[in-house]
Amino acid sequence: MEALQPLAVMRDQLLGLAASFFALIPNLLLGIVALVVTWGAARLSVRLVDRFLVHEHARVSLRAAAATLTRTGAWTLGLLIAATLIFPNLTPTKLLAGLGLGTIAIGLAFQDIFENFLAGLLILLREPMQIGDDIECQDVRGRVEEITIRDSYIRQRSGELILVPNSFLYKNPVRVLTDKPQRRIELVVGVGYGEDVARAREVIRSAFAGLKTPDQTHDIDVFASSFSESSIDFIVRWWAGSTPVEELRSRDEVAEAVKSALDQAGIEIPFPYRTLTFKDPLRVRQDPDTPEAPS
């Protein structure tokens, strides 16, 4: 009889588990129905959000981010409802408390990932830069090819592709060079100290006549700005295309035209030189092989 007592206990436990399982079947069916409804609701919500953003002419990257957030929110809510239906003793308060503790743990473990996620979302919402813009951020210089939730794809001017974390772009100053079709370009031109400043200014300004890359509808600024070691420096400013290639072409055209105009006017563009002063007089010795100059 004593040998049969453990078997009886095991039988009672198995019967109890079976009874609990069969009693749980209606809840499982309700949970499955809730998951199916969640699946449909998630797809419908994503479509509605995408249609709204298309109507508002939102960027493709922003639409993708909104779809991900909508889908994640719908499935989170659906899983909570399904868990509550399957396990009646698991109240919404307990679920939210457990979810809060889990969120804190996950946040601490994946802090960098969530930081880049939030930064990417803010960049997409604020639209400080567009796909195709040329930007500069510290050592990163290039054209924006794609902006995702976590990182941005920057094509450098030398051809390499750089994946930049969004938090890096959000925390540091970013120069968006192509935010406008045109931007002002600056060039420093030096003339000799013996030249007339007013005449040199007019010659430099006249060099812009007939050039293609500078925008002639804007004023051409020519200012005498500083006294350097061997020249008086002028700051020359004009407006041209904002892309790096357009800037280089415009600089090349303007530099060539200014050099030619100053040469034709006989205005010196000095080379750097130094005057050496010695404390004691120097004796000049003539090479014996060098013939003396006639007196």
- The residue among 205 and 85 whose pLDDT is bigger is 205
* Least confident stretch, 106-115, 139-148, 216-225: 106-115
Q: Does pLDDT of 123 surpass 70?
A: yes
- The residue among 130 and 145 whose pLDDT is bigger is 145
The amino acid at residue 232 is I
Assign domain 128-176 one CATH number from 3.20.20.120, 3.50.50.60, 1.10.3720.10, 2.30.30.60.
2.30.30.60
User: Residue 203 in contact with residue 189, Cβ under 8 Å?
Assistant: no
Q: Where are the domains of the chain?
A: 21-109, 128-176, 182-264
Residue 246, SS3? helix
Query: For 237-251, what is each residue's pLDDT tens digit?
Result: 999 999 999 999 999
Q: Which residue has 């399982």 as its token pair?
A: 21
Average of pLDDT values for 249-271? 93
Q: CB atoms < 10 A from the CB of 233, how many? A: 15
Helix (H) or strand (E) holding 197: helix 197-206
| pTM of the predicted protein model | 0.61
Instruction: Report the pLDDT value the prediction gives residue 202, as an integer from 0 to 100.
Output: 95
Instruction: Report the pLDDT value the prediction gives residue 147, as an integer from 0 to 100.
Output: 82
Residue 258 banded pLDDT, cuts 50, 70, 90: very high
Which range among 119-123, 148-152, 171-175, 221-225 has the greatest average pLDDT? 221-225
Query: For 48-107, what is each residue's pLDDT tens digit?
Result: 877 877 666 666 666 776 777 788 778 878 877 777 777 766 665 655 555 555 555 555
Taking each continuous run of H as one helix and of E as one strand, the counts in the chain are 7, 8
User: Residue 256 in contact with residue 204, Cβ under 8 Å?
Assistant: no
Instruction: Report the pLDDT value the prediction gives residue 109, as an integer from 0 to 100.
Output: 47
Residue 184 has phi, psi (to 5 degrees) of: -85, 135
- Please, what is the Cα angle at 122 between 121 and 127, to 5 degrees? 105
Residue 188, SS3? strand
Instruction: Note the residue count of the chain.
Output: 295
- The residue among 95 and 184 whose pLDDT is bigger is 184
Residue 254 banded pLDDT, cuts 50, 70, 90: very high
Q: Does pLDDT of 206 surpass 60?
A: yes
Closest residue by Cα to residue 121 from 88, 95, 149, 143:
149
Report the top-level CATH class of 182-264.
Answer: alpha beta
Q: How far apart are CA 50 and CA 62, in angstroms?
A: 10
Q: Please name the residues in contact with 165: beta carbons below 8 A apart, sequence gap of 6 or more.
A: 112, 116, 119, 150, 151
Residue 92, SS3? helix
Q: Decide: residue 127, CB within 10 A, 0-12 exposed, 13-18 middle, 19+ buried.
A: exposed
- Answer positive or negative: Cα dihedral of 148, 152, 153, 155: positive
Average pLDDT score, the chain: 80
Report the top-level CATH class of 21-109.
Answer: mainly alpha
Percent of the chain at pLDDT exceeding 70: 74
Q: Decide: residue 65, CB within 10 A, 0-12 exposed, 13-18 middle, 19+ buried.
A: buried
Task: Name the H helices within 3-110.
Answer: 4-55, 60-86, 92-109
